Structure 1
Amino acid sequence: MPGTHNFEHLPLLLRFRGRARLQGFGKPSPQTRANNAARAAHSNALLASAQSWSAGWQQRKALREEQELPIIPGGVPILLQVDPSLELDVLREKFSFEIVAEQEEGYVIVASEDIEVAPFLAMVRAFAVQVRGSAKIAEVHRLLDDPQQTDRLSRILSERLLTEWPQIADDQLYIVDIGIACTGVSQIPKLPKKGKRDTDATWARKELVWSQARTDAYNAWDSIKELRETEIEEFARSYGAEILHLIDGAPFDSAVLPDSFTVRFRIVGRGLRDFILNYAYIFEVVEPEDIALPQRAAEAVPLPGNLATPTAPEADAPAVCVIDSGIQEGHVLIQPAIEQTSSRCFLPGKNVDDVGDFVAPGGHGTRVAGAILYGEVVAKEGTPQLPFWIQNARVLDENNMMPVELFPPKAVRAAVERFHLGPRHTRIFNHSINANSYCRTRYMSAWAAEIDWLCFTHDVLFVQSAGNLTSSGPMPQPGVADHLAAGRDYPAYLLEPSSRVANPAQSLQAITVGSVAYGSLQDGAWRTFASERGHPSAFSRSGFGIWGVIKPEVVEYAGDDLRTANVPADVQGGGLIPAGCPELVRSTMFPPGPPFDRDDVGTSFAAPKVARIAAMLQHVLPEEPALLYRALIVQSARWPAWADALLVELRHPDCRRNPQRRQQLLQQVSEIIRWIGYGVPDETGATVNTDFRTTFITSGEKTVRARECHIYQVPIPPELRGQADEFDIRIEVTLSYVAQPRRTRRNLRRYLSTWVDWKSSNLGEGLNDFRVRALREDDNEDEPLPGSALPWTLNEKSDWGLIRDTKRNCGTVQKDWAVVKSNSLPDQFCIAVVGHPGWSHDPDSAARYALAVSFEIMGQEIAIYDPLRTAVIELQTQVEVEVEAEVEDEVEVQIDD
């Protein structure tokens, strides 16, 4: 038996890596096949619309010169409809069209420097007479000739701006955020293949030429961005517009991603209209969103007689940066943990040391900081040592608002650059800030995309609140009372689009946290919405997020709203019933008021409880990547008892004999995952194991390229799979990955440079059979023995699992779980991590990932940790021997040569 242990996580062993066996790509659409069958007609239709479009723009350009309007350099916008399966780089390669934005149903906004679109027209004519190389024209279904640009405007303007567009007044000032594409027409060429006749010298020259072409493409993208920044500055001056990022005379600054940047304008209506209609590279125009952090606090109560006197954390304890309204740094319950030397105010017009929490009556950032330090219960006595350092990044004013001069993407970037690149290299950022409305789903917002970019660029984790519904509000942002008055009951109204998670909670890389209630409570005429502990809070915004991604991923206990029984019901925040609120440290800057209380609710206070778990993971696993912390948090999450009971019933064989009940259960669990994601995380489950639960993890930074596959192996010892036993074993798998985002893409798999998913071996499928199924190897084209699939709760397709309408591989954190009988377990359980091509054609483009696999014996009939630990140590020894043998063989071959 191996030596003693502390129930630490066990290593996941990488056994094989190679070329992935990927499924085939989509077939051409019926319209493409019809175009191929009627080449002349399709060619004539495209010629007519393209020539009309070109003539219209030439006339528009001439008229601008006559009227001496400001020069708008660059190309002209075109709206195309293409086959949804078309690789968009074809438009760049064949026609010199720059891809501005990808839309749904095959619509693409492109820009052409050539107003006569000569390359496009030449190929359209060639297509009619079946010239070789012109076949791609069949996949260009339409070029929309729309002189008023009605279709284009409907695809780039927000709902509100589109409604207001006809009434935009010439001299009225508008503040807007405008997304500008800057990918150009340069592209990375395909990596050359070494031919049989290539000598070492000729192959080296080919590689050098390709490497230089790749460098030139990256340099061209940087140059285009700089050119467009200059163009926008010149246009702004011509209309007296203000770029609100020109702070303190600094150079042009905006929220920048590799394919785009976003700039905030203050501009008169005629300038706004001119710019939007004529600047070809615009893919989004939205109004700035207000921040929504509703205060739901009850009246202050007297101070307690005694307080704890906490002490400072260990010098090397993890740090958590609180991006919020500031913190009352001298508060007796949190002062020892505040790293005051690093505190910074990022609000324009305020001193950098103006870092206090001036939100009345009890603060906001102060409460968040306290929840990170204390979790569910604030210390009442003694001298507890605080577990983490708190860093204070103030971005909200005393009204819990962010001024329009501070662009949210820039605020989060400034915080990460200060604190992550600072002495403590902070990796965990709590961001309990949301817009006051549900997130848009046309594109990833600049704010959310910035968080994704920061997580890709740096090894950081953002813990993000899901956002709150107000008690009441105007359309299109109805509050809880408005839903009830309209006949939408709790919790069904949480499925409404207006209840969707609020910007930037749709970020793929942030771990988004919703709220659940403490239970059914009543005080006089007021009662909580929840009828049981763990039901979704009435105010907690729900999923899905953008592109059907599961959001929030997890939930924590952060209270509930209150209602009366009358119709229509009165609704208010939960502070009236203290037992229904989380216990939080409270600012004492506005007396009277206690230093802690149960007087406020909201997802703002759910997020820091998860940030606390992340910081605890950093303490236990300080050298591991933040991606693993996210994986382990999600891995530890469980549905509350009331929700899990529905899954248990659904898994029972008797359920299949009652189709009506089964259909009801399928609908219920498919709604629950939208409310509470994967459930409530557990600090103990995330950080350590027990005799009855064992977690295996990857260690260090793991990267996978497109079309590459990594196979991990978990040995299952005989003690777990005895044929006489039928213990229930819960298997959980969580993949957490990050890749480079591209904001102009309206599709998950094109938003990321490389996207990743996982698949498992089946019951009864051997290691070699799974290897054949997962890897494409020249010496192994045999048909694998399939085995029977595990009964995954989500599964790879939206109609395969117990939970419908979503699937496990639609986001960058992918969890699934199954319950199987112990005697059906194979002797080896394998997981394949597979990389897929995203928007990048760079062969060196890769995604980073972390993987966790857990086994739990539900009835605790036998201990499983020690047998699994022994088995993996034996396998690890075997692997090391195999590697040494391979190295020796290579050395012998070299000597023979």
Structure 2
Amino acid sequence: MATKEIDRRRHLLLTGTSAAEPYTSPQQGGGETRLPPVDPAHHGNALKKQLERVRKDLIARDTRHDAIAVEARRGVYLEFASASGFDLALQSLEDRRAGVELAATRTQTGVTYATVYVPSGQLGYFEKKVEEYLTKTTKKSGNPKNKPLIESIAEIRLAVLEGFWTDDPALFPPAGKTICWEVWLRGEGDDLLARFREYAQKVKLQVGDEQLRFPDRLIVLAYGTREQMTGSIELLDVIAELRLAKEVPTSFVRMNVIEQEGWAKELKDRITAPSPDAPAVCIVDTGLNAGHPLLEPALRKGDLHAYDPSWGVHDDDGHGTGMAGIALHGDLAEALLSSSPVALTHRLESVKILHKGAANPPKLYGAITAEGVARAEIAAPQRKRAISMAITATDFRDRGQPSSWSAEIDKLCSGMDDDNPRLFVVSAGNIRVAPGMDYRSRNESEGIHDPGQAWNALTVGAYTERTRITEPVFNGWSPIARPGDLSPSSTTSCIWQSQWPIKPEIVMEGGNMALSPDGKDADFPDSLSLLTTHYQPFVKLFTVTGETSAASAGASRVGAVIWAQYPDFWPETIRALLVHTAEWTPRMREEITATRSRRRDMEHLLRCFGFGVPNLERALWSAGNALTLVVQDELRPFERDKSNEMRLHTLPWPKQALLDLSSVEVELRVTLSYFIEPNPARRGWERRHRYASHGLRFAVQKANEEPDDLRKRVNKAARDGDETIDSGDAGWLLGPTLREKGSVHHDRWKGTAADLASRKSIAVCPVIGWWRERHQLGRWKKAARYALIVSIRTPETGVDIYEPVANQVKIATAVPI
């Protein structure tokens, strides 16, 4: 019987589909701060007395230091506390014209604390605010002047060192204990760093060499005690916040060895090397041993690097070489068992950022990552690369909040410093599975490890289909995870607050674990793991690997394969395709139960598995019944301190083919992917202190709408006074609330083909970010680029939805506009 020919057609990359339009957001801004009940006179006088106490404390503190130190002090820090269960009016605690700056915020046992820098001589700024509250009222409401600010404050005091600590309070060091502090300095110039080093030297604080720079913040590491940190007025004058430095594991699980040297030779004979200009997977790990015969075809000597050249570029641990095998071949067992030719379409690079031996001292791994990536880019500046990093911190204390490491990855992805966007693929991190534990409960209670919370990175969790144990030594053992479920060690974002991005975005095969018959032991059988390359090829050729490390390497491979097929695609587009084509397994879909609300179930599903397992075939190809349209465009979201423009895309559409299908159910998928610029200082991620530079949103034309109706629905500037246009649209799986987190937005619509026939217009609109709210930094002048992917899938009815659109695209590109 003849084999049916596979229908593979290239995705359609569209140009000129949109027009920029002036844009005003229909949103009216955030609600007012909820205030505790107070007696105005009593409350105002109490705060007035507290500020008087601050003045006395400052005088007393200054008399304990010499006159030169007091003269050098440029300001003071105040700590403001809210009433329990209420928030501070953070936006009102800062006045850039007066030099008053919100430095850091934290929440502890229901109380919000804000540390505010007040320049020397400006303490009267807050004294005046309190006095006006006590003596003046507003004309419009008759309320005391400055009511939202003053009544949100329960206490004002001179800040102590704990006021700068924005990490877990339990991690604050006891007296006399030396720790590695992650110091966030208030500013970003070289003179600031020089001042900090000078002051630190006086109190014998050791300052690390690495540094990271963000808007208004410069980050370094310092080694010392809390007593040293408080030993200098000048030192505290330049600090904005303090955190505990991250620890990164320096050894990895050694896997069992699989000896099959004959298979390696047979496979190598079938391999065709990639072209010199092929895209690459850049392994940021423990190095790579290029002598392995199955890696050699995709390597050149100049593509192996180390953060510290004295380490050498070789892999003396094994983890990096293991990741390289997965990133190049996927699970090697499949390639070894096949007899088909293997035409490699991408290359390998390696950057060694961990060195085996004595434990590495704490370092700014964001700076190390940036330096390592720079070495690879200098060696091959024109090459497209998926940067694969399976190294994570040992903890998950950030709980979705940006760290210096994750923010640096966001910065690298966005091209914030060099206009060179990058694709980063990072692992979600692993938990340690213990016998007898309910592993899914542990999956959901241990958050994704730093830097997996990076908004712009593609974060990869692990799932498994492997449940067949073949080794006699494991006779009677049972697989821990069911087929299609999370791998036992994969982390999730279930414990994160809802405003943080959906992580992981996707999951890939990461292997399974086995439980002994008595339930007392758990192990990693080779048959439940992935086969990969061993780092000592002259001793052993194969080993096994798994967990989220293998999953992230596998996702990097998929990204590089797509890039080889579509070299004009942007990093944002490759990320979008991996999300766009993902599917949940039947087991994953069981997370949607009848016991909770549908919205809660959907968010739970997303925070465990992301959007599912990517489908490489769909990521690479369209078909007669599966049309994928790709748009790469940009808009300028802001004009100084207001919204600026939106884009209305009118897509080539198979309208008649869809009408021919009439009542047949079809699926529409839309994915919007863009990179934000980070602003990671912990000053509260609300209003003017947002983490993201900007946001984008999409809205699809409804069946009963004209493009003008869509424009009015999303754009206040186009409404002509009409403020009550309904935005509801049935059929979407997630809806705006769930899909609009992070910087990649995906949703799926199902309905009749006839209903879809008129939905060819899509609006892309900006939402507020720190580019606009901190407009004095000048970043609002930048354009924000994005990838928009739209696909239609129908049953195989014989109606071709691809060809009509392909013909429209050919005509459009043949006629210059």
C-alpha distance in 2, partners of 1:762/1:553? 27
> CA 1:76 to 1:716, structure 2 compared with 1: closer, same or farther past 3 Å?
same
Q: Is the 8 A contact 1:703 1:849 kept in 2?
A: no
User: TM-score w.r.t. structure 1 length?
Assistant: 0.78
Given candidates 366, 372, 378, the residue that maps to 2:321 is 366
Amino acid at match of 1:53: V
C-alpha distance in 1, partners of 2:809/2:722? 29
C-alpha distance in 1, partners of 2:535/2:204? 44
Q: Is the 8 A contact 1:54 1:116 kept in 2?
A: no
Q: Is the 8 A contact 1:22 1:707 kept in 2?
A: no
C-alpha distance in 1, partners of 2:730/2:392? 39
C-alpha distance in 1, partners of 2:714/2:378? 40
* Aligned counterpart, 2:222: 265
How far the C-alpha of 1:789 sits from its partner, in A, is: 0.3
Given candidates 422, 430, 450, the residue that maps to 1:468 is 430
> CA 1:41 to 1:18, structure 2 compared with 1: closer, same or farther past 3 Å?
same
Q: Does 1:495 align with 2:444?
A: yes
Given candidates 103, 119, 122, the residue that maps to 2:125 is 119
> CA 1:453 to 1:686, structure 2 compared with 1: closer, same or farther past 3 Å?
same
> CA 1:358 to 1:307, structure 2 compared with 1: closer, same or farther past 3 Å?
farther
C-alpha distance in 2, partners of 1:721/1:396? 55
* Aligned counterpart, 1:417: 374
Given candidates 734, 742, 760, the residue that maps to 2:700 is 760
How far the C-alpha of 1:449 sits from its partner, in A, is: 0.6
* Aligned counterpart, 2:3: none
Q: Give ranges in structure 2 of 5+ residues lacking alignment.
A: 1-6
Deviations 1:93-126 (A, max 9, x none): 4653122124457643211122660122123213
Trace 1:661-672 onto structure 2 (pairs within 5 A).
661=594, 663=596, 668-672=601-605
Q: Is the 8 A contact 2:456 2:675 kept in 1?
A: yes
| SS of equivalent residue, structure 1 residue 550 | coil
Q: Does 1:710 align with 2:647?
A: yes
C-alpha distance in 2, partners of 1:877/1:632? 23
Given candidates 204, 228, 233, the residue that maps to 1:240 is 204
C-alpha distance in 2, partners of 1:267/1:808? 44
> CA 1:837 to 1:769, structure 2 compared with 1: closer, same or farther past 3 Å?
same
Q: Is the 8 A contact 2:423 2:571 kept in 1?
A: yes
* Aligned counterpart, 1:530: 481
How far the C-alpha of 1:173 sits from its partner, in A, is: 3.7
| SS of equivalent residue, structure 1 residue 606 | helix
**Count of equivalent residues:** 768
> CA 1:831 to 1:135, structure 2 compared with 1: closer, same or farther past 3 Å?
farther
How far the C-alpha of 1:321 sits from its partner, in A, is: 1.5
C-alpha distance in 2, partners of 1:511/1:447? 15
| SS of equivalent residue, structure 1 residue 698 | strand
Q: Is the 8 A contact 2:633 2:786 kept in 1?
A: no
Report which stretch shifted further, 21-30 or 697-706: 697-706
Given candidates 298, 305, 322, the residue that maps to 1:344 is 305
C-alpha distance in 2, partners of 1:402/1:505? 23
Trace 1:572-611 onto structure 2 (pairs within 5 A).
572=523, 574=524, 576-578=525-527, 580-589=528-537, 591=539, 593=540, 595-597=541-543, 599-611=544-556
| SS of equivalent residue, structure 1 residue 794 | coil
Given candidates 812, 815, 821, the residue that maps to 2:743 is 812
| SS of equivalent residue, structure 2 residue 488 | coil
How far the C-alpha of 1:613 sits from its partner, in A, is: 1.9
Q: Is the 8 A contact 2:626 2:792 kept in 1?
A: yes
How far the C-alpha of 1:454 sits from its partner, in A, is: 1.0
* Aligned counterpart, 2:45: 44
Trace 1:468-867 onto structure 2 (pairs within 5 A).
468-471=430-433, 480-481=434-435, 484-485=436-437, 489-496=438-445, 499-522=446-469, 523-532=474-483, 534-544=484-494, 547-567=499-519, 569-572=520-523, 574=524, 576-578=525-527, 580-589=528-537, 591=539, 593=540, 595-597=541-543, 599-644=544-589, 661=594, 663=596, 668-699=601-632, 703-705=636-638, 706-722=643-659, 725-745=662-682, 746-747=684-685, 750-777=690-717, 780-782=720-722, 786=726, 789-797=729-737, 807-840=738-771, 841=775, 842=778, 843-858=780-795, 862-867=799-804
Deviations 1:662-712 (A, max 9, x none): 648766544332221011112221222111211111135555434532122
> CA 1:269 to 1:135, structure 2 compared with 1: closer, same or farther past 3 Å?
closer
C-alpha distance in 1, partners of 2:183/2:326? 37
Trace 1:443-462 onto structure 2 (pairs within 5 A).
443-457=401-415, 458-462=420-424
How far the C-alpha of 1:274 sits from its partner, in A, is: 3.5
Amino acid at match of 1:772: K
* Aligned counterpart, 1:185: none
How far the C-alpha of 1:441 sits from its partner, in A, is: 3.4
* Aligned counterpart, 1:191: none
> CA 1:710 to 1:56, structure 2 compared with 1: closer, same or farther past 3 Å?
same
C-alpha distance in 2, partners of 1:24/1:666? 25
Amino acid at match of 2:529: C
Amino acid at match of 1:511: L
C-alpha distance in 2, partners of 1:312/1:821? 46
> CA 1:231 to 1:47, structure 2 compared with 1: closer, same or farther past 3 Å?
same
Q: For the aligned residues, what is the CA RMSD?
A: 3.4
> CA 1:785 to 1:448, structure 2 compared with 1: closer, same or farther past 3 Å?
closer
> CA 1:564 to 1:6, structure 2 compared with 1: closer, same or farther past 3 Å?
same
How far the C-alpha of 1:86 sits from its partner, in A, is: 5.0
Q: Is the 8 A contact 1:179 1:261 kept in 2?
A: yes
Given candidates 98, 103, 110, the residue that maps to 1:100 is 103
Q: Is the 8 A contact 1:292 1:468 kept in 2?
A: no
Q: Is the 8 A contact 1:762 1:790 kept in 2?
A: no
Trace 1:297-308 onto structure 2 (pairs within 5 A).
297-301=255-259, 303-304=261-262, 306-308=265-267
C-alpha distance in 2, partners of 1:666/1:742? 30
Q: Is the 8 A contact 1:161 1:287 kept in 2?
A: no
Q: Is the 8 A contact 1:311 1:386 kept in 2?
A: yes
Report which stretch shifted further, 726-735 or 843-852: 843-852
C-alpha distance in 1, partners of 2:784/2:295? 38
Amino acid at match of 1:744: A
How far the C-alpha of 1:461 sits from its partner, in A, is: 0.8
Q: Give ranges in structure 1 of 5+ residues lacking alignment.
A: 183-221, 246-252, 472-479, 651-660, 798-806, 885-897
How far the C-alpha of 1:373 sits from its partner, in A, is: 1.3
* Aligned counterpart, 1:65: 66
| SS of equivalent residue, structure 1 residue 307 | helix
> CA 1:829 to 1:402, structure 2 compared with 1: closer, same or farther past 3 Å?
farther
Amino acid at match of 2:514: L
> CA 1:49 to 1:89, structure 2 compared with 1: closer, same or farther past 3 Å?
closer
Amino acid at match of 1:469: I
Deviations 1:70-108 (A, max 9, x none): 998432222235796957376224653122124457643
C-alpha distance in 2, partners of 1:238/1:785? 64
> CA 1:17 to 1:293, structure 2 compared with 1: closer, same or farther past 3 Å?
farther
* Aligned counterpart, 1:77: 77
Given candidates 278, 281, 294, the residue that maps to 1:317 is 278
Report which stretch shifted further, 726-735 or 534-543: 726-735
Q: Is the 8 A contact 1:624 1:700 kept in 2?
A: no
C-alpha distance in 1, partners of 2:440/2:718? 54
C-alpha distance in 2, partners of 1:442/1:384? 40
Q: Percent identity?
A: 21
* Aligned counterpart, 1:227: 191
Q: Is the 8 A contact 1:468 1:540 kept in 2?
A: yes
> CA 1:71 to 1:813, structure 2 compared with 1: closer, same or farther past 3 Å?
farther
| SS of equivalent residue, structure 1 residue 21 | coil
How far the C-alpha of 1:559 sits from its partner, in A, is: 0.3
> CA 1:174 to 1:365, structure 2 compared with 1: closer, same or farther past 3 Å?
same
Deviations 1:627-685 (A, max 9, x none): 111111111111123334777xx8xxxxxxxxxx3648766544332221011112221
C-alpha distance in 1, partners of 2:754/2:57? 73
| SS of equivalent residue, structure 2 residue 674 | strand
Q: Is the 8 A contact 1:636 1:681 kept in 2?
A: yes
Amino acid at match of 1:52: R
Report which stretch shifted further, 302-311 or 851-860: 302-311
